[in-house]
Amino acid sequence: MTSDKLTLHYAPRSRASATRVLLDELGTPCDLHVLNMRKGEQKSPDFLAINPLGKVPALSHGNTVVTESIAIALYLGDLFPNAGLTPMPGDPRRGAYLRWMTFYAASFEPALMDRMIGHVPPANESAYGTFDQVIEVLADQLARAPYILGENITVADIQWGASLQWALNFKAIPELPVFRDYALRVTSRASFQRVFEDEARLDAAQDAAA
């Protein structure tokens, strides 16, 4: 638990959306600092002082700043263990939790981005092997149970569900039933629906203001 104020530096329909859903799932109050990326607000000096890369999401918690979606998700999950979404140290799922969260940032996203720009690094030199291997490993894991760590949803599923839904929409990953079913299972939750609804409103307002 924490008494320090949380602020999510956020833009609608971005990687920060999954963070916003996670905050909703954790049931914690959080100020939203909404940036209009169409106006380049993420590159303002004030925001660059928070994240020098000028990218969202970023999280301020008291004097602590956390950037990188996965670091933020791990940080929040540990901060609110009572929400029941975090395999904490001592939980037999903790190792797998860290594995799949890190796999997301270190293997899946780079593989996806390389694929989208048509870059094919040599398999033995890339951090992830090949795109097809990453897809195969992920599909195999998701076929085992309703959620990535088993029968119960965890912080990891919020990230993976949001991302796979995005990747399916953009046809960036194969349209496998295991991906489609999983993404639907996760993103049909009330938390996602609340955030998607609000984001449609915010996005339209930002568009009009840009």
Ligand X SMILES: N[C@@H](CCC(=O)N[C@@H](CS)C(=O)NCC(=O)O)C(=O)O
Binding positions for ligand X, rule: CB under 6 A = 14-15, 37, 42, 54-57, 68-69
Helices (H), the chain: 16-26, 45-48, 69-79, 94-103, 109-117, 131-142, 155-169, 177-187, 190-209
* Closest residue by Cα to residue 154 from 85, 102, 75: 85
Is residue 76 within 8 A of residue 155, CB to CB? The reply is: yes
Nearest distance, CB of residue 71 and ligand X, angstroms: 8
Nearest distance, CB of residue 110 and ligand X, angstroms: 10
Is residue 58 within 8 A of residue 20, CB to CB? The reply is: no
Q: How far apart are the first and last CA of the chain?
A: 38
Nearest distance, CB of residue 14 and ligand X, angstroms: 4
Nearest distance, CB of residue 49 and ligand X, angstroms: 15
Residue 63 to residue 192: CA distance in whole angstroms: 29
In terms of residues, how long is the chain?
Answer: 210
Nearest distance, CB of residue 68 and ligand X, angstroms: 5
Q: Which is nearer to ligand X, 36 or 178 (CB)?
A: 36
Q: Which is nearer to ligand X, 2 or 44 (CB)?
A: 44
Which residues 6+ apart lie within 8 Å of 63 measured at CB?
none
Nearest distance, CB of residue 33 and ligand X, angstroms: 13
Is residue 104 within 8 A of residue 167, CB to CB? The reply is: no
In one-letter notation, the amino acid at residue 48 is: L
Q: Which residues pair with 32 in a beta bridge?
A: 8
